[in-house]
Amino acid sequence: MRRILITGATSAIAQEAAKHFAADGDAFFLVGRDPDKLAAVADDLRARGANEVASAVVDLLDLPRCSQLIDDAVEQLGGLDTLLVAQGTLPDQAECEVDPALSLREFSLNAMGPIALLIRAAAHFETQGSGCLAVITSMAGVRGRRSNYVYGAAKAAVSTFLEGLRSRMGDAGVSVVDIRPGFVDTPMTAHLPKKTLFATAALVGERVYQAMVAGDAVVYTPWFWRWIALVIQLIPRSIFAKLSI
Ligand SMILES: NC(=O)c1ccc[n+]([C@@H]2O[C@H](COP(=O)([O-])OP(=O)(O)OC[C@H]3O[C@@H](n4cnc5c(N)ncnc54)[C@H](OP(=O)(O)O)[C@@H]3O)[C@@H](O)[C@H]2O)c1
């Protein structure tokens, strides 16, 4: 039985991943900001076979509180094997450009909260000598695009942090999983027109589960985003700067 902390547990993608862990009979400490949504997720996971489900209502913009959550999970579950960081918001880039406070708040939610969680979790898992640390980052972190570089910069910061952490954690037997979805049809993207490249939360959530169980390093999902990422990385800077994406 795994003991799993999920932050942003009401996320559509995280819920789909959690269904698979619940079917394995795992135990959960769920963290989210909306008590009603959190209770519904907890009930669903219990019905699907979860061994135990505890939860906490937390605004994940509260960075000191993020750091404490690892200790809370250890206390609630009697230990901790697995962390899935899933909170995120997709800000309006144009609004961010004229509102520094908004930009920094978005950066905090998408990067600083996850990093605060990872620092404390890494210390715990390193001492333990086992575990899985996973974060849902994004394809948006692959390069800075004019249409969403505040969000993209936050995701890139987390991916870079994870790469260094993976190198450190390899010696301790801890897996560090960076999941980079492309477009996914979830509440976060509800306002966007749905193009052909959109995947379902169920498909991406299942891939999150598989990657965490396997201890994969970097996962693009669906699979074709790996090749799109490669092409995007190869475009010369002078040409990339002229693209309106
Ligand atoms: N959808 C995509 O196309 C896509 C693509 C690449 C990466 N991602 C990443 O995937 C992850 C999951 O997103 P999703 O697509 O599943 O969207 P979602 O369903 O909207 O999930 C976002 C989650 O973040 C939580 N959250 C936002 N602000 C918070 C705060 N201040 N305190 C606590 N929780 C907060 C939301 O809580 P509430 O339920 O209370 O709103 C929700 O649980 C995110 O990190 C996102 O950046 C998504």
Sign of CA dihedral 230, 218, 223, 146: negative
Q: Where in the chain are the domains?
A: 3-240
> Model-level pTM greater than 0.95?
yes
DSSP state of 48: T
d(CA 107, CA 139): 16
**pLDDT tens-digit map of 105-148:** 999 999 999 999 999 999 999 999 999 999 999 999 999 999 99
Sign of CA dihedral 143, 147, 149, 152: negative
Nearest protein Cα to ligand 1, atom 46: 88
Return the closest-CA partner of residue 12 out of 136, 113, 134, 178.
Answer: 136
**pLDDT tens-digit map of 65-80:** 999 999 999 999 999 9
Give distance in angstroms: CA of 239 to centre of ligand 1.
32
Nearest protein Cα to ligand 1, atom 26: 87
**pLDDT tens-digit map of 172-203:** 999 999 999 999 999 999 999 887 899 999 99
- The atom of ligand 1 lying closest to the CA of 15 is 16
Q: Is 151 assigned a catalytic role?
A: yes
What is the fold, at CATH topology level, of the domain defined by 3-240?
Answer: Rossmann fold (3.40.50)
Nearest protein Cα to ligand 1, atom 7: 138
